[in-house]
């Protein structure tokens, strides 16, 4: 059954450009942009701050039950390059969750089945209330399986490493291209082999390789397809 509101579901590996592209598509279509990866990053940051083992699902869920994670569109005074504002209770952690330490931690907590169930529940609630462009790694088949437009956004590992490296350099993080490349390969392996919702391409997803596309071209392709579907 088709959902009440229009849903664009985007999956893909880390550093494939999902966040930037999804945010721009959402702006173009006048829809809400939802970065589900930010939610797992927030959980990882919370667990790390409390010095919990990232494999201790029971302790992490108990800790999470006492805190609230919110995703908001950046306000006019928060135009600092962020794609979305992330709050942990009342604290703005939008940039605190973008470090490599938290990134690595997020991929570890993301394999916890019961935690994923809770995150999926929260993500579905968001999509039940408005039109969304939601991106992550299990959106097309787990979170929004009935989305009107499903996309698997990808690029070569080399291109993704290059993009991620340049992005981290802009933020002043001291890391080598080789280290970024190796981290991406490890993340890809974890994401594809995890038992809980492995990264995969569903049969009705549109596979869009952005290796040779600019951000603007990718946004144009997706926005055009979405507008065509909304007219039907």
Which tens digits make up the pLDDT trace of 159-198?
999 999 998 888 888 889 999 999 899 888 888 887 767 8
Structure confidence at residue 198 (pLDDT): 82
Let me know if 137 is exposed, middle or buried by CB neighbors in 10 A (0-12, 13-18, 19+): buried
State the CATH architecture for 7-231.
Answer: 3-Layer(aba) Sandwich (3.40)
- pLDDT bucket at 76, cuts 50 / 70 / 90: confident
- Find, among 143, 141, 138, the residue nearest to 126 by Cα: 143
Domain boundary assignment for the chain:
7-231
Phi then psi for residue 77, to 5 deg, are -90, 5
Structure confidence at residue 191 (pLDDT): 82
- Angle at 200 (CA atoms; ends 231, 94), nearest 5 degrees: 80
Distance (Å, whole) CA 34 – CA 59 = 26
pLDDT at 80 over 80: yes
Distance (Å, whole) CA 189 – CA 199 = 9
Distance (Å, whole) CA 205 – CA 134 = 14
pLDDT digits (tens, 9 = 90+) for 114-132: 999 999 999 999 999 999 9
Distance (Å, whole) CA 94 – CA 181 = 24
Query: To the nearest whole number, what is the mean pLDDT of the chain?
Result: 92
């Amino acid at each position: 059954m088709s959902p009440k509101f229009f849903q664009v579901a985007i999956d893909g590996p880390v550093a494939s450009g999902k966040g930037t592209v999804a945010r721009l598509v959402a702006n173009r279509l006048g829809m809400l942009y939802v970065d589900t990866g930010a939610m797992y990053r927030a959980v990882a940051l919370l667990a790390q701050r409390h010095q919990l083992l990232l494999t201790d699902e029971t302790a992490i869920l108990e800790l999470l039950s006492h805190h609230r994670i919110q995703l908001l569109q950046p306000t006019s005074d928060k135009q600092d390059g962020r794609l979305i504002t992330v709050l942990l209770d009342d604290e703005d952690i939008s940039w605190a969750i973008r470090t490599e330490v938290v990134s690595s931690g997020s991929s570890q907590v993301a394999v916890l089945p019961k935690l994923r169930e809770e995150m999926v529940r929260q993500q579905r609630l968001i999509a039940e209330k408005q039109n969304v462009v939601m991106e992550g790694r299990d959106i097309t088949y787990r979170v929004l399986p009935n989305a009107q437009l499903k996309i698997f956004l990808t690029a070569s590992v080399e291109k993704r490493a290059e993009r991620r490296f340049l992005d981290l350099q802009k933020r002043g993080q001291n890391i080598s291209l080789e280290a970024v490349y190796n981290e991406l390969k490890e993340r890809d392996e974890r994401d594809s082999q995890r038992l809980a919702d492995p990264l995969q391409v569903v049969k009705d997803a549109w596979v869009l390789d952005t290796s040779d596309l600019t951000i603007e071209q990718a946004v144009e392709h997706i926005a055009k397809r979405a507008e065509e579907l909304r007219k039907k």
